[in-house]
């Protein structure tokens, strides 16, 4: 490994280490002034570790700052004293300077020496660093006049592993595309045979009945035509098989290439959000407040485009937390709170969604005050204001024009902050909500897709058109019995989990036609959407399929509709509109009603889950694949060999088969051949998961009709799930 690679690894490790130690010191200081001797020893240990790590990374500025931190804790420990107010501020100033310096490094920049911080702390800049500063050339003064601007190029660091995977996937796609040349050659042969048959037909017509006699042979006879037709049939069958195999392989490889590109865009959240600690400190200083900023989950990887899209939303929310949430020192002390306010930024990844929470321990939201300000701003009428629930009142902070301040300042009062938050999150097909903190304060929760490269969508029919609904907003699919649709406060509703959930026709909501309930098998097809605790049941004419697709912006006037967030291009070239789930929910703000479970009969039948047959003679392999698939919501059946699998397939209904190859009685190749010969089973997708990794075995599996071939030595559950999602 090259020395520069080792240095980068060590630096990345120190990035994590310094964050952990600073968070640890802040956690202990939270108990100030009631600190114990062991608290000082622990903070001394963490400061010493940071200094050692900085020395290894050759970061003299950080080493000098953490040395000062170490000295403060060492002197306090010797005297058996706790930090006074001045020392506590010094500790915070040192940690802030270290954080700012390391944040610039994490972003790939060259940090400047924090001269002001050194001066405030009475520290000398390290001599080598001082010499480097003095030797830096003074930039030349540019002559006045119009100078052309150079566009700033956006860059993204991609790991060598991701590049290798991209190269491998693109090479396989190229190899498959080259095979299409062979299809072209075969098509030329088909054209030649057709031309020859046309000539034979012309001769037959000219010779009359004589040419139709089975006893006559040679050019221009019935026998010659039959031989030509047989040859054409053989060529077409072979061509069809070749095209099907190539199409399957290209489908799998394209999905893999798409996943590789998606992975290459994943970056640690901290690389985009690194500047927030300094921003919060600076804003708190401007407001005359003391704030401790706590972050977690910044090491989790998220699509960089999603993080960039959320950055402004997080910034505005943090600004609101400092300006409106955290009270002044006097107010906090009089309320019996710690004089230092706390603001947190937490990031979690759940499935294919990223959840961001910005919280504070401040005064919280005053529902009555928000209701009054909404009325004063003309955002609601008096009747609407009185009828709003507490949840609906809190949601008013996201409305354009709403502000709790009557005068604008440099950081608040223009009525734009939280509306910008909602717009940014909704633009990413996400949702945002606000709720009270426990025991005090406010929590703003944003949920967005983990990746912006593609979106998982459910295609549905309504009023003769096809629309797409983001899968992340769908709680479940149901077939509701028509006679069990009830009326609550004059609106259609269905009972679900102890609540009456409003039922609306998708065509009605979107304004594309009058919805008529389409009843099939005694039930109405319903999509239940859920966004941050709120639900809406939407009746559709039918479910079409699920798909992963790239969301494209819509041209005007379609872009002016609040109900559509974009479009996706279908296989036939048509464009399907993607429903903006958050706006749909905003139009129907229904509150559920409680009921006694024993008073209401079962109303709905769950839509059938896809059933996967896993075939493997290894108990461990069967169990692993079963757990992976069931975790994603699939129903799984098991078989120990091809014979047992074939019997299950002929008596049950399966959406896909995941099979090993090397098995007793009947191996995976034989099972695949048997399925392709069976008219009822030949269309069932088959994924081979095996330890046979030779190119010959892979080609044999694909030539027999396998839809995908995964090697166990390189087995990744994401690959299996990705293939199953494409096939089922």
Task: Report CA dihedral (139, 141, 146, 149) to the nearest 10 degrees.
Answer: 10
Share of the chain above pLDDT 70, in %: 77
Closest CA to 583 of 606, 605, 560: 560
What is the pLDDT at residue 299?
A: 85
SS (H, E, C) 142-207: CCCCCCCCCCCCCCCCCCHHHHHHHHHHHHHHHHHHHHHHHHHHHHHHHHHHHHHHHHHHHHHHHH
- Here the CATH number for the domain that contains residue 459 is 2.40.50.180
List the Cα angle 18/24/27 in 5-degree steps. Answer: 140
Quickly state the pLDDT bin for 342 (edges 50, 70, 90).
very high
Does residue 183 sit in the same domain as residue 70? Answer: no
Indicate whether 407 pLDDT > 60.
no
CA 454 – CA 433 distance, rounded (Å): 24
CA 527 – CA 477 distance, rounded (Å): 5
Q: Is residue 148 part of a domain?
A: no
Average pLDDT over every residue of 362-383 = 88
**543 contacts: CB under 8 Å, gap ≥ 6:** 458, 459, 460, 461, 477, 525, 527, 607
Average pLDDT over every residue of 668-696 = 89
**465 contacts: CB under 8 Å, gap ≥ 6:** 512
Does residue 437 sit in the same domain as residue 460? Answer: no
pLDDT in tens, 183-225: 666 777 777 777 777 777 777 667 666 656 666 666 666 677 7
pLDDT in tens, 271-316: 888 888 888 988 898 888 989 999 999 888 888 888 988 988 899 8
**613 contacts: CB under 8 Å, gap ≥ 6:** 636, 637, 638, 639, 645, 648, 649, 654, 656, 657, 658, 659
Quickly state the pLDDT bin for 545 (edges 50, 70, 90).
confident
Q: Is residue 341 part of a domain?
A: yes
Q: Which of 141-150, 158-167, 192-201, 465-474 shows the lowest per-residue confidence on average (mean pLDDT)?
A: 141-150
Looking at residue 704, what DSSP letter applies? T
What is the pLDDT at residue 684?
A: 92
Query: Residue 353: which H helix or E strand, with range?
Result: strand 353-360
pLDDT in tens, 450-493: 887 667 888 999 888 899 998 878 888 887 776 667 776 667 78
Residue 644, both tokens: 């047992």
3-state secondary structure of 452: coil
Does residue 356 contact residue 309 with C-beta atoms inside 8 Å? no
Evaluate the omega torsion of the peptide bond into residue 439 and state whether it is cis, within 30 degrees of 0. yes
CA 534 – CA 159 distance, rounded (Å): 40
What is the pLDDT at residue 694?
A: 83
Query: Residue 85: which H helix or E strand, with range?
Result: helix 85-106
Q: Is residue 150 part of a domain?
A: no
What is the pLDDT at residue 171?
A: 57
- Here the CATH number for the domain that contains residue 76 is 1.20.120.160
Quickly state the pLDDT bin for 134 (edges 50, 70, 90).
low
Indicate whether 140 pLDDT > 60.
no
Does residue 432 sit in the same domain as residue 291? Answer: yes
Q: Which of 97-101, 371-375, 383-387, 511-515 shows the lowest per-residue confidence on average (mean pLDDT)?
A: 511-515
Average pLDDT over every residue of 392-401 = 82
Does residue 299 sit in the same domain as residue 349? Answer: yes
Burial class (CB in 10 A: 0-12, 13-18, 19+), 376: exposed
- CB count within 10 Å of CB 403 equals 19
Of 551, 578, 606, the one marking the end of a domain is 606
- CB count within 10 Å of CB 295 equals 19
What is the pLDDT at residue 687?
A: 92
Q: Tokens 């291009």 correspond to what residue?
A: 569
Q: Is residue 112 part of a domain?
A: yes
Q: Which of 123-132, 392-401, 466-475, 640-649 shows the lowest per-residue confidence on average (mean pLDDT)?
A: 123-132
Average pLDDT over every residue of 636-651 = 90
pLDDT in tens, 550-570: 777 777 666 667 788 888 888
The radius of gyration of the chain's CA atoms, rounded to the nearest angstrom, is 33
3-state secondary structure of 346: strand
Task: Report CA dihedral (44, 45, 49, 50) to the nearest 10 degrees.
Answer: -30
Closest CA to 583 of 569, 566, 596: 566
Quickly state the pLDDT bin for 674 (edges 50, 70, 90).
very high
Does residue 83 contact residue 98 with C-beta atoms inside 8 Å? no
- Here the CATH number for the domain that contains residue 637 is 3.40.50.2300
**185 contacts: CB under 8 Å, gap ≥ 6:** none
Average pLDDT over every residue of 689-708 = 86
Does residue 176 sit in the same domain as residue 47? Answer: no
Closest CA to 586 of 366, 302, 392: 392
What is the pLDDT at residue 512?
A: 74
Could you write out the DSSP letters of every residue in 570-592? -TTS-EEEEE-HHHHHHH--PPP
Residue range of the domain that includes 500: 455-606
Does residue 500 sit in the same domain as residue 587? Answer: yes
Q: Is residue 583 part of a domain?
A: yes
Does residue 548 sit in the same domain as residue 662? Answer: no
Does residue 41 sit in the same domain as residue 77? Answer: yes
Task: Report CA dihedral (60, 62, 63, 68) to the nearest 10 degrees.
Answer: 130
Does residue 466 contact residue 578 with C-beta atoms inside 8 Å? no
pLDDT in tens, 13-38: 788 888 888 888 988 888 887 888 88
Does residue 244 sit in the same domain as residue 260? Answer: yes
Does residue 284 sit in the same domain as residue 422? Answer: yes
What is the pLDDT at residue 406?
A: 54
Does residue 365 sit in the same domain as residue 485? Answer: no
Of 416, 449, 482, the one marking the end of a domain is 449
Of 412, 433, 449, the one marking the end of a domain is 449
Indicate whether 410 pLDDT > 50.
no
Q: Is residue 144 part of a domain?
A: no
What is the pLDDT at residue 631?
A: 79
Q: Residue 175, Cα to own-chain centre: how many angstroms?
A: 31
Does residue 104 sit in the same domain as residue 78? Answer: yes
Quickly state the pLDDT bin for 328 (edges 50, 70, 90).
very high
What is the pLDDT at residue 240?
A: 74
List the Cα angle 507/383/320 in 5-degree steps. Answer: 80
Q: Is residue 632 part of a domain?
A: yes
Quickly state the pLDDT bin for 587 (edges 50, 70, 90).
low
Average pLDDT over every residue of 664-669 = 90
**How many domains in the chain?**
5
CA 431 – CA 584 distance, rounded (Å): 12
């Amino acid at each position: 490994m090259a020395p520069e690679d080792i240095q980068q690894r060590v630096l990345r490790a120190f990035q994590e280490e310094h964050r952990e130690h600073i968070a640890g010191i802040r956690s202990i200081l939270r108990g100030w002034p009631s600190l114990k001797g062991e608290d000082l020893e622990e903070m001394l240990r963490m400061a010493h570790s940071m200094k050692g790590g900085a020395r290894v990374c050759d970061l003299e500025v950080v080493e000098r700052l953490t040395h000062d931190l170490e000295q403060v804790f060492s002197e306090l420990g010797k005297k058996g004293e706790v930090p006074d107010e001045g020392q506590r501020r010094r500790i915070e100033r040192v940690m802030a300077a270290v954080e700012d310096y390391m944040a610039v490094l994490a972003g790939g920049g060259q940090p400047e020496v924090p001269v002001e911080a050194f001066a405030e702390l009475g520290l000398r800049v390290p001599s080598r660093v001082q010499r480097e500063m003095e030797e830096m050339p003074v930039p030349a003064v540019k002559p006045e006049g119009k100078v052309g601007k150079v566009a700033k190029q956006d860059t993204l660091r991609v790991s060598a592993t991701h590049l290798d995977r991209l190269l491998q996937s693109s090479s396989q796609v190229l190899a498959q595309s080259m095979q299409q040349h062979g299809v072209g050659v075969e098509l030329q042969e088909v054209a030649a045979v057709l031309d020859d048959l046309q000539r034979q037909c012309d001769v037959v017509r000219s010779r009359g009945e004589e040419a139709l006699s089975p006893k006559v042979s040679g050019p221009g006879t019935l026998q010659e035509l039959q031989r030509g037709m047989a040859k054409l049939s053989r060529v077409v069958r072979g061509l069809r098989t070749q095209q099907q195999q190539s199409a399957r392989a290209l489908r799998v490889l394209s999905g893999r290439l798409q996943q590789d590109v998606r992975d290459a865009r994943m970056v640690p959240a901290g690389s985009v959000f690194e500047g927030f600690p300094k921003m919060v400190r600076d804003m708190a200083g401007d407001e005359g407040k003391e704030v401790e900023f706590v972050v977690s989950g910044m090491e989790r990887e998220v699509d960089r485009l999603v993080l960039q899209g959320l950055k402004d939303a997080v910034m505005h929310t943090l600004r609101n937390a400092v300006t409106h949430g955290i009270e002044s020192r006097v107010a906090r002390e009089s309320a019996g709170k710690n004089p230092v306010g706390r603001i947190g930024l937490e990031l979690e990844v759940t499935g294919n969604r990223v959840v961001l929470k910005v919280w504070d321990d401040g005064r919280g939201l005053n529902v009555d005050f928000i209701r009054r300000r909404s009325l004063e701003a003309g955002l609601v009428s008096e009747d609407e204001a009185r009828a709003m629930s507490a949840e609906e009142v809190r949601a008013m902070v996201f409305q354009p024009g709403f502000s709790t301040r009557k005068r604008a300042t440099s950081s608040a009062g223009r009525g734009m902050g939280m509306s910008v938050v909602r717009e940014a999150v909704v633009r990413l097909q996400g949702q945002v909500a606000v709720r009270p903190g426990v025991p005090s304060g406010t929590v703003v929760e944003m949920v967005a897709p983990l990746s912006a490269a593609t979106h998982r969508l459910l295609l549905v029919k309504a009023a003769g058109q096809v629309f797409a609904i983001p899968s992340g907003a769908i709680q479940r699919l149901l077939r509701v019995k028509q006679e069990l649709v009830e009326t609550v406060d004059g609106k259609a509703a269905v009972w679900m989990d102890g609540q009456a959930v409003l039922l609306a026709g998708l065509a009605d909501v979107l304004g594309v036609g009058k919805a008529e309930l389409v009843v099939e098998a005694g039930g109405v097809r319903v999509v239940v959407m859920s966004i941050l605790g709120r639900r809406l049941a939407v009746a559709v004419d039918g479910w079409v399929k699920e798909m992963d697709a790239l969301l494209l912006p819509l041209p005007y006037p379609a872009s002016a509709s609040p109900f559509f967030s974009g479009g996706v291009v279908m296989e036939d070239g048509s464009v399907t509109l993607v429903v903006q789930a958050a706006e749909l929910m905003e139009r129907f703000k229904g509150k559920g009603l409680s009921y006694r479970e024993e008073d209401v009969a079962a109303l709905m039948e769950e839509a059938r889950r896809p059933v996967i047959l896993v075939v493997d003679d290894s108990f461990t392999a069967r169990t692993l694949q079963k757990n992976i698939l069931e975790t994603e919501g699939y129903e799984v059946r098991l078989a120990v060999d091809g014979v047992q699998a074939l019997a299950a397939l002929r008596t049950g209904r399966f959406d896909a088969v995941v099979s090993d190859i090397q098995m007793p009685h009947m191996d995976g190749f034989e099972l695949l051949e048997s399925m392709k010969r069976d008219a009822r089973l030949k269309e069932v997708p088959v994924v081979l998961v095996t330890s046979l990794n030779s190119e010959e075995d892979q080609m044999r599996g694909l030539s027999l009709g396998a839809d995908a071939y995964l090697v166990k030595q390189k087995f990744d559950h994401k690959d299996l799930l990705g293939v199953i999602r494409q096939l089922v």
